[in-house]
């Protein structure tokens, strides 16, 4: 599966919504898009953060947005109001592991970018269910319910990617029970809090 999501712009992190018509209904590709080998582009090796130029696409007014699924998908990633009408559009590929934006390092996949919008078309990494979203909003501004839902999503859907086989507790770690003031072993406690009060 392929998803469109935003990566660089902090204020537009939700997936980009493609135009109203379903891409499944428009499975035909124009002659230009039919020649693009998406399998090869989304599996190629990258050695640098800069990614690789796949090809320069024709200017947007020449695209078959209403009849070609890929033209429509690519156009949904570009802010057409700010793209010069006669300018070719570079189609670049990136590796999530090599990108300067470290938020992408949590998954291992390749990304496509049309133009320079900061929006990417990403292939679904193997073993992951649900849409891929990179969460970069400042946590302080987000409610704890959102954070809990993100953790729950990772635990329930991304078990092959986000799971940690070794328990993360420290053997022999002891805690102070704040109610009884007793010192107890921490091995079966899911949470602990650090406090400056205890010195």
**Average pLDDT, consecutive stretches of 10 residues, N- to C-terminus, the chain (199 residues):** 48 41 57 88 81 89 90 87 88 83 71 84 68 54 73 75 58 79 77 59
3-state secondary structure string across the chain: CEEEEECCCCCCCCCCCCCCCCCCCCCCCCHHHHCCCHHHHCCCCCCCCCCEEEEEECCHHHCCCCCCHHHHHHHCCCCHHHCCCCCCEEEEEEECCCCCCHHHHHCCCEEEEECCCCEEEEECCCCCCCCCCCCCCCHHHCCHHHHHHHHHHHHHHCHHHHCCCCCCCCCCCEEECCCCCCEEECCCCCCCCCCHHHC
> What is the predicted pLDDT for the residue at 90?
93
**pTM of the full structure:** 0.53
> What is the predicted pLDDT for the residue at 154?
78
């Amino acid at each position: 599966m392929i998803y469109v999501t935003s990566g660089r712009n902090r204020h537009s992190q939700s997936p980009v919504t493609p135009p109203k018509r379903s891409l499944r209904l428009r499975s035909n590709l124009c002659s230009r898009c039919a020649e693009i080998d998406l399998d090869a582009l989304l599996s190629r090796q990258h050695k640098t953060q800069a990614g690789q130029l796949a090809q320069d696409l024709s200017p947007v007014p020449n695209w078959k947005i209403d009849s070609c699924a890929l033209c429509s998908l690519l156009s949904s990633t570009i802010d057409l109001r700010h793209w010069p009408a006669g300018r070719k559009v570079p189609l670049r590929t990136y590796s999530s592991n090599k990108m300067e934006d470290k938020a992408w390092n949590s998954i291992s996949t390749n990304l496509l970018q049309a133009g320079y919008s900061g929006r990417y078309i990403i292939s679904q990494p193997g073993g992951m269910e649900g849409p891929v979203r990179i969460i970069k909003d400042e946590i302080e501004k987000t409610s704890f319910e959102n954070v809990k839902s993100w953790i729950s999503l990772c635990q329930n859907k991304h078990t092959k990617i986000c799971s940690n086989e070794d328990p993360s507790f420290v053997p022999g770690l002891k805690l102070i029970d704040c109610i009884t003031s007793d010192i107890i072993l921490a091995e079966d406690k899911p949470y602990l809090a650090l406090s400056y009060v205890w010195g």
